[in-house]
Structure 1
Amino acid sequence: MGRGGGVAESRALRKMPRAEAMRLVASVRVGRVVFTQRALPAIRPVNHVVLDGLVVFGTHRDSAVATQTAGAPTVVAYEVDQIDEEQRSGWSVVVTGLAVRVEAGERADRYHGRLRPWVGVADHLIAVTPRLVTGFRLVPRTAGASGLRRVMIGTTVEGTPDRAEE
């Protein structure tokens, strides 16, 4: 028995197939978009929907992410997860791809109809075409489980993640 109410401490990360990862992205409505702002990484929580194989999110016309994705396609990462801290289980998916503005029209109207913004109206739609999709599940480590890779994660004094594979 480990800490945390008897939950076993031994966990493993199981890589998931792309289709499963995209289903999980579609199963939640909020994620985080990672983009470049003034040559530095920036992260914003946004509402999204998965339609036509794209991750589509709305934002305000004057937002930082709207400014950075105006014009030419822009490389972004989009991350979603569900983690149960008490059970020490869950999953995480990162979609990396090209983000482009969705122009007004029938497609934009359909996307607007599916999005549920938390604040105001999302007057700027951005669609991410997935190029790289990586997903992992945090699962109990069992003897003889194939396809599981144990990753121990700690933190150094400076706060930098320290990973060691067994």
Structure 2
Amino acid sequence: MLRNGDFHALDRRACLRLLGGVPVGRVVYTQQALPAVLPVTFRLDADSSVVLRTAAGSELVRAVDGAVVAFEADEFDALTHSGWSVVVTGRATLVTDPAEHERLARYGPDSWMPVREGVFVRIEPDMVTGRRLTGT
């Protein structure tokens, strides 16, 4: 059972700092009117948006371009019952500007999956929430 004080809400700055330290998160979106979740590699951009790289013709691109999505990342230790979870909610858009695409190709996230004709998806951080659990 949790004692009072073991569960803490995190402010936006703390959430973004934690997100910057992990390479994998989950995109939560709607596919055929049903919720869908997909693990992806990502990187936080300078404006705090979440950027991921995927195949141009993927179902993910068709489902998220222009849609409001959620993005979640976390880190937990099962032995100590401690960890954190952060959720970013915002509109996902394809990066179409050639200069921006080139910059992200050099410094942005790589996909762990083989990607031909890769595109970048940017999720604007309209709402950022997080929780930390301190255990034993």
Provide TM-score, normalisation by structure 1.
Answer: 0.73
1:34 to 14, 28, 34: 28
Equivalent pairs counted in the alignment come to 131
In the other structure, the counterpart of 1:126 is: 121
Listed as ranges, the gaps of 5+ residues in structure 2 are none
Compute the displacement of 1:119 (Å).
Answer: 1.3
CA deviation map 1:83-134 (0-9, x unaligned): 0011110000000001000015111122222212111136121000011111
User: Would you say 1:14 and 2:8 are equivalent positions?
Assistant: yes
1:90 and 2:83 matched: yes
Instruction: Tell me how far apart the structure 2 counterparts of residues 140 and 85 of structure 1 sit (CA, whole Å).
Output: 9
Large movers: runs of 4+ above 6 Å: none
* Rg larger for: 1
The amino acid of 1:10's aligned partner reads: L
Aligned letter for 2:18? Answer: L
What's the counterpart of residue 37 of structure 2? Answer: 43
Matched, 1:78 2:86: no
Structure 2 residue identity aligned to 1:77: A
Residue 103 (str. 1) matches residue 115 (str. 2): no
Mapped partners of 1:130, 1:15: distance in 2: 17
- Which stretch of structure 1 is more off in the superposition, 118-127 or 13-22? 118-127
Which amino acid is 1:138 matched to? L
> The residue matched to 2:7 in structure 1 has which SS?
strand
User: In the aligned structure 2, how far is the partner of 1:136 from the partner of 1:61?
Assistant: 33
How big is each residue's C-alpha offset from its partner over 1:51-78, in whole Å with a ceiling of 9 and x where there is no partner? 12210001112222101134xx210000
CA displacement 1:13-61 (0-9 Å, x = unmatched):
1001101101111111110000000000001011101112210001112
Instruction: Supply the AA of the counterpart residue of 2:120.
Output: L
- TM-score normalized by the length of structure 2: 0.89
Per the alignment, in what secondary structure is the counterpart of residue 134 of structure 2? strand
Percent of counterpart pairs with the same letter? Answer: 37
SS in 2 for 1:27: coil
Q: Which has the higher contact order (CA 8 A, sep 6+)?
A: 2
